[in-house]
Structure 1
Amino acid sequence: MTNSIRTKQVITIGAVLLLIAFLFTRDIKGLVKPKQESPATPAAGQLTSNTAQDINLQEVSATGKNLINPSLAAEITKLENAYKSAPEGDKAAVAAQLAQKWDDVEQTVPSALYLEIISKQQKSLQSWLNTGGRFMKAFDSSRDSLMQPLLLQKANMAYTNAMAIDSANADAKTGLGITIVNGMGMPMKGIAMLLEVVKKDPSNLKANMSLGTFAIKSGQFDKAIVRFNDIIAKKPSPDAYFYLATAYESLGKNKEAIAAYLNSKKLAANPTLSKFIDKKVAELSK
């Protein structure tokens, strides 16, 4: 493999990392930021359950309120006061309202923290799955290199608690596998968990998507192409087409990449993504 091809693949993978937040959370901020402003994802195997400090709910709440409409911030403050004064038996219901309100204004960190409060009280499979999913949503959309490891750790803990309740649950195993590959343990252990999910349920889109994106990140573009073509055959989506295009581009298959990019643009119908793809197609057409 020549140095120029390697360089092109590194650049392409960098573009994928910038767009992960958009494709999974529809937070398009990751698309328009320069590459150097986007923090690196924690290295696989770098984190353990003892490395992260807790996240201060009051601090993230105050930060979140500064980013939203004052009237919405006032509504949340009112709910927070109600939560503080509620009897212990009623706190979970108010916490659920706060989690939803924060999620509605796209502030996923405080939302996830309130779901965690509920899970610690209810200790149910679904509550831990909801908590893990919200922390992963916050992790994917975060641009804070100090916050990201904390969010990943909390997602890992939530999915670990879910697995303790039902070790065969596909959502729990998939979520836990994703956190492991992203930095909460040895990546091959996480991949093995995802492969186990897919073996039992070949139509599991979340596990298949995760395996496909990890194949791209590790430079296994041929495997990624097979994976995303299988996903598209089952359920076409803008993110699946985008990653397929990325894999084709990395292998120099520009014609196939252009077709996949255009399908992603058509299904997403998002102005920011469309602008990015138009630029990409123009480059590949030269």
Structure 2
Amino acid sequence: MANNIRTKQALIIVAIVLLTGFLFTRPIKGLVKPKEEAAKPAAMADQTATAQPSLEEISSTAKNLISSASSKEITVLENTYKGASGAEKLAEAQKLAQKWEDLEQPAPSALYLEVVANGESSLANWLNAGNRFLKAFDNTQDSLLQPNMLQKANNAFTKALALDSTSLDAKTGLGITIVNGLGAPMQGIVMLREVVEKDPKNLKANMNLGMFAIKSGQFDKAIVRFNNIISQIKATPDAYFYLATAYESLGQNKEAIDAYLNSKKLAANPTLSSFIDKKVAELKNKR
């Protein structure tokens, strides 16, 4: 039984890793056992306290991931930003945030959005920064940068909620950061459930509740959640993918195959398609 559980968890982790980068809502970072989950917030906090890379360091690292021409464009914008002040500096920070986002580098983009939010504190600015920090948290494989991005997302959503305590977007974002390590997971789940109670068709909150159900091994609940998302909110490739993962974990291979194929059809991503083709072949051989 223990081996079967570990095998299912391994399959889920592999599937989620493959999904990251193809799809656009929050993925689960991995499966954590209850004792590990309890210890995770403290470990995450310790890492965040010791790892505070500067904007310059993060931008320098990101420049190594883009073309030489794009790097030169960024440098020109950075020089203009450094020489500006007041409202002009914030405008230049916004330009840099957008440029980095266009180049698919969310970490430096998020840091510039944080500059904008600190300069002009508004609900929209803090939500933009928080969402971009979550995206950076999702996309980075840097174990030191991850907790930093998550902490900054938490801070941004906390400030957004302070400006508008009724903001469901702020509460959703804050709940996601808590579930992922900045507090007791159930505290974050309660926040997400409160969002869904007020807005039953909130895609982000529902997706994260479904993903947490998978993470905690509650596959039946995950299946109900993702089927509801698909039928009542939006049939997305990631919703189908997680649905397939939950079905597969319960040994319901026919249902898993159907869901995987729907994910492939909607995503139209060559890498994901290749993975799903192999997965479907494996599941057919088990029938």
Helix, strand or coil at the partner of 1:285: helix
Q: 2:242: which partner in 1?
A: 243
Residue 44 of structure 1: how far off its partner (Å): 4.0
Deviations 1:138-189 (A, max 9, x none): 0001111111000100000000000100111000000000000000001000
Report deviation, 1:273.
Answer: 0.2
Identical pairs, percent: 60
Q: Which moved more, 1:116-125 or 1:46-55?
A: 46-55
Counterpart Cα distance in 1 of 2:202 and 2:211: 15
Q: Which residue of 1 aligns with 2:41?
A: 45
The two structures, once aligned, show a CA RMSD in angstroms of 2.0
Q: Give the structure 2 partner of residue 200 of structure 1.
A: 198
| Counterpart for residue 272 of structure 1 | 271
Q: Deviations over 1:25-82 (max 9, x none)?
A: 49xxxxxxxxxxxxx9996423349735433111111111121111111111001000
Asked if the contact 2:74/2:99 (under 8 Å) is kept, the reply is yes
- Give the one of 179, 182, 196 matched to 1:181: 179
Q: Does 1:62 align with 2:60?
A: yes
Which of 181, 204, 219 aligns to 2:217? It is 219
What is the match of residue 210 of structure 1? 208
Aligned to 1:37: none
8 A contact 1:52–1:150 mirrored in 2: no
Distance 2:100 2:183 in 1: 30
The SS at the match of 2:20 is helix
Q: What does the per-residue CA deviation read over 1:110-160, in whole Å, with 9 as the maximum and x for residues that have no partner?
A: 100000000001110000000000000000011111110001000000000
Answer whether contact 1:136 1:151 (CA < 8 A) is retained.
yes
Match of 1:6 in 2: 5
In structure 2, the partner of 1:18 is 17
Where does residue 255 of structure 2 map in the other structure? 256
Partner of 2:30 in structure 1? Answer: none
Structure 2, unpaired ranges of 5+: 26-35
Contact 1:52 1:153 in 2 (8 A): no
1:285 aligns with 2:252: no
Cα deviation for residue 13 of structure 1 reads: 2.3
Following TM superposition, by how much is the alpha carbon of 1:87 offset from its aligned partner in structure 2, in angstroms?
2.3
C-alpha separation in 2, matches of 1:20 and 1:280: 13
Partner amino acid for 2:130? G
TM-superposed deviation, 1:6: 1.0
Pick which of 52-61 and 131-140 moved more.
Answer: 52-61
Q: For the structure 1 residues 227 and 23, does the alpha-carbon distance in structure 2 shift closer, same or farther, using more than 3 Å as the test?
A: farther
Deviation at 1:24, TM superposition (A): 4.0
**Which consecutive residues of structure 1, in runs of 5 or more, have no partner in the other structure?**
27-39
User: Is the partner of 2:21 in helix, strand or coil?
Assistant: helix
Q: 1:278 to 1:264 in 2, by over 3 A?
A: same
Distance 1:133 1:24, change over 3 A: farther
Q: How far apart are the structure 1 equivalents of 2:38 and 2:75?
A: 33
SS of equivalent residue, structure 1 residue 236: coil
Aligned residue pairs: how many? 273
Query: Distance in 2 between the 1:140 and 1:151 partners?
Result: 9
Matches within 5 A, 1:123-162: 123-162=121-160
The C-alpha deviation readout for 1:182-223, integer Å capped at 9, x for no partner, is: 000010000000000001110000000000011101111000
Q: Offset at 1:4?
A: 3.9
Q: Is the 8 A contact 1:42 1:182 kept in 2?
A: no
Closer, same or farther: CA 168–194 of 1 in aligned 2, 3 Å: same
Q: Distance in 1 between matches of 2:246 and 2:235?
A: 16
- Give the partner amino acid of 1:168: T
| Residues 139/152 of structure 1: CA separation in 2 closer, same or farther (3 Å cut) | same
TM-score normalized by the length of structure 2: 0.90
Distance in 2 separating the partners of 1:133 and 1:5: 36
Secondary structure of 1:184's aligned partner: coil
Matched letter for residue 76 of structure 2: K
TM normalised by structure 1 equals 0.91
Letter in 1 for 2:205: A
